[in-house]
Amino acid sequence: MIVLESRNVSKEGLIKNISLKINKGEFVSIMGPSGSGKSTLLYILSGIESFDEGEVIIAGKDLSRIRKNELSDIRRKHIGFVFQNPELIPEVNVISNILLPALSNKREIKQRGEELLAKLGLAGYQNRSVNNLSGGEKQRVAIARALINMPDIILADEPTGALNQTASKETMELFLSLKEMGNTILMVTHDAKVASYSDRILYLVDGSIAGEFNNSNRDENEVREFLASFRW
């Protein structure tokens, strides 16, 4: 079943004629040089940014044919977005930041927040102030926040960009466990090792898909070879 699809999507010189299909339970990476439009593409696919031409279909809905409130409903219920530069609320503690977008504010969701923290290597961090967390710790709090409503589609923009190896591995293992539960993940990354956890890699150059790699062997060296084929 396809849960996320774009058909010939274009945006004013930034995104050129992108068509992609992501199946339920698939874990796909987007790679490509800085400025190639990776973040823009994620924003378009999630309905955060508009586009000029083409169609985006998410959870069975054509984004250009639905009302604004229906879009926010889809985003709240289905999409978890991990931003490249996540902003946390400095006045409240870690767990309150995570529970901020929570749809139900019950004890069990607090427990889920704490479980997510533990899986991300931040067990016991719930009552800490976010002000003196490291960049990588902040990034993981933002990942937990994006996952609090159990979104079935996760769009993550360089979720390991500020993480060390251990934390990157923990984050990818969390993503794999979410995939096993049937969630769909589309992740931007610059890191071949991180990308090697995904099923498929799309390579963006100047706003277009320049190549695609089926990563069924989960072999980091094969990923590196694929990436090397784009070097000039």
Ligand X SMILES: Nc1ncnc2c1ncn2[C@@H]1O[C@H](COP(=O)(O)OP(=O)(O)OP(=O)(O)O)[C@@H](O)[C@H]1O
Binding site residues, Mg ion, CB under 5 A: 38-39, 84
- CA 202 vs CA 21, 57, 129, 178, 230: distances in Å: 11, 18, 38, 20, 12
Q: Element (H or E) spanning 98, and its range?
A: helix 94-99
Instruction: Give the separation between CA 77 and CA 149, rounded to whole angstroms.
Output: 7
Handedness of CA 94, 114, 74, 45 (dihedral sign): positive
CB of 222 to ligand X, least distance (A): 22
Out of 26, 28, 38, 227, the only residue in the binding site for ligand X (CB under 6 A) is: 38
126 touches which of Mg ion, ligand X, none (CB within 5 to 8 A by kind)? Answer: none
Instruction: Give the separation between CA 51 and CA 212, rounded to whole angstroms.
Output: 23
Question: Closer CB to ligand X, residue 11 or residue 200?
Answer: 11
CB of 219 to Mg ion, least distance (A): 26
Span of 33-41, 92-100, 210-218, 220-228 interacting with ligand X by CB under 6 A: 33-41
Q: Which residues make Cβ contacts (< 8 Å) with residue 46, sequence separation at least 6?
A: 58, 75, 79, 81, 155
Q: Element (H or E) spanning 39, and its range?
A: helix 38-45
Question: Closer CB to Mg ion, residue 47 or residue 113?
Answer: 47
Is residue 37 at the binding interface for ligand X, with CB under 6 A as the rule?
yes
Instruction: Give the separation between CA 41 and CA 50, rounded to whole angstroms.
Output: 10
Question: Closer CB to ligand X, residue 11 or residue 112?
Answer: 11
Span of 30-38, 119-127, 208-216, 222-230 interacting with ligand X by CB under 6 A: 30-38
Out of 35, 60, 124, 135, the only residue in the binding site for ligand X (CB under 6 A) is: 35
Binding positions for ligand X, rule: CB under 6 A: 14, 32, 34-40, 84
